[in-house]
Amino acid sequence: MSPVRRPLLVRVLPLLLSVLLAGCGAPAVRDPAERDVREAVAAWSRTPPARLAGIPLEGWAYEVTAVRRDGDRATARAELRYRLAGYDAAPAGSAREVRLSRDGGPGGAWRVTGDAAAPGAQPQLWDQGPVEVVRGAHALVLGVGRPAQELSAVAAEAERAVPAASAAWPGKWAGRVVVLVPGSLELMARLLGRPAAEYRGMGAVTTGRVGAAAAPADRVVVNPEGWAELSAAGRGVVLTHEVTHVATRAATTAKTPLWLSEGFADWAAYRGGAATAQEAAPALGRAVRRGRLPAALPADGEFAFGGDPEALARAYEGAWLACRLIAAKWGDATLVRLYERAGREPLATALADTVGGDLPGLTLAWQASLRQELGTE
């Protein structure tokens, strides 16, 4: 049985830490107390807190967008912006709620008493506790509530995954990755703003914005519970898959079919390994041997989580085998060119200009390979 395939699958999720756009200018503040609150937040937020000293932060700033006062207490809604030095090409950040109180009653100075994610906004990792930092040549691992040995092991795997992804994807990318390791599945779900059930059994997910515009670096978020269930080989496959999503991000757009983006990431992860189609595609193999050969390459909707895990596994496995076929039949470079072109032009055009065929022809070749590798032929 495959060291990874089961429900331990991966997917690209919406950006965890959104890029924040500065306003054209703050409105004039007529209330002296509100002005004092804004000034108190500005003074307090000039540098990152000492507890974050190990994280390579730069450009740290809170921009107050609204103030609500209740006597000698106040709440300031603010946008936190920062960069991870050496990783983020554009500011990352989130909506925050800063609490203040006034010393000595009316006329006293305002001071900050607390800071948290604003209602409805995802927390930052450091909101969940003290952050441990492991830095390598290719990876920055930030963890909360996990053993130091585990974080070091994740970092070592990420250090191997980055060169593996670069070998599969020769296109330009940063060659570095940020990995977040929260303390539990529940805390992972809070970071991502989704129900924990969506990530149960998964090894990791990637957050990011598709396209080539400057943006914060993708964050690979590890599910510590799913990670613990993986074999050593499985952990390598999961992280290489995720890092490949990071590497291909600039070439990935809404035009890119998911069978190609997910299949390419798995192709990169299994590339050079010893896993056979029977070992790494057990769910699809069972279907083929029962006479349920897929009629088409997996549609985007088949990669949605929350449904039948067996069907989801078949979608990922079929996507991998499609990309594996393209690389074997037409060459690795052709698969890369197809990926690049499929993100900026119709798939039919990209296929014609790379493999010299069309989608029906590719589908027939893929079906034949499934019969041969997974069936009884």
pLDDT of residue 201: 82
Picking from 70, 73, 72, 66, the residue whose alpha carbon sits closest to that of residue 95 is 66
Tokens of 199: 């990530």
Tokens of 312: 């989801």
Examine the pLDDT at 20 and tell me if it is beyond 60.
no
Top pLDDT among 376 and 137 is at 137
State the virtual CA torsion across 29, 33, 35, 41 in degrees, nearest 10.
Answer: -140
pLDDT of residue 309: 87
Residue 374 CA to residue 104 CA, distance in Å, equals 76
**SS in 3 state form for 281-305?**
CHHHHHHHHCCCCCCCCCCHHHHCC
Residue 145 CA to residue 159 CA, distance in Å, equals 22
Tokens of 41: 């937040």
Q: Helix (H) and strand (E) counts for the chain? A: 12, 10
* Domain extent listing, the chain: 1-12+124-252, 32-121, 253-377
Residue 320 CA to residue 314 CA, distance in Å, equals 10
Examine the pLDDT at 60 and tell me if it is beyond 90.
yes
How much of the chain exceeds pLDDT 90, in percent?
79
Element at 334 (helix H, strand E): helix 332-342
Residue 235 CA to residue 230 CA, distance in Å, equals 6
Mean pLDDT calculated for residue range 145-174? 96
Picking from 15, 23, 178, the residue whose alpha carbon sits closest to that of residue 94 is 15
pLDDT of residue 33: 84
Query: What's the pLDDT tens digit per position in 86-121?
Result: 999 899 989 999 999 998 777 789 999 999 999 999
pLDDT of residue 310: 92
pLDDT of residue 30: 61
In a 13 Å sphere around the CA of 52, the CA atoms on its Cβ side amount to 16
Query: How would residue 8 be classed by pLDDT, with cut points 50, 70 and 90?
Result: very low
User: What is the dotted CATH code of the domain comprising 1-12+124-252?
Assistant: 3.30.2010.30
Residue 266 CA to residue 10 CA, distance in Å, equals 10
Query: What's the pLDDT tens digit per position in 322-363?
Result: 999 999 999 999 999 999 999 999 999 999 999 999 999 999
Query: What's the pLDDT tens digit per position in 202-232?
Result: 899 998 777 656 778 899 999 999 999 999 9
Q: What single-letter DSSP state applies at residue 349?
A: H
User: What is the dotted CATH code of the domain comprising 32-121?
Assistant: 3.10.450
Positive or negative, the CA dihedral 305, 310, 316, 319 is negative
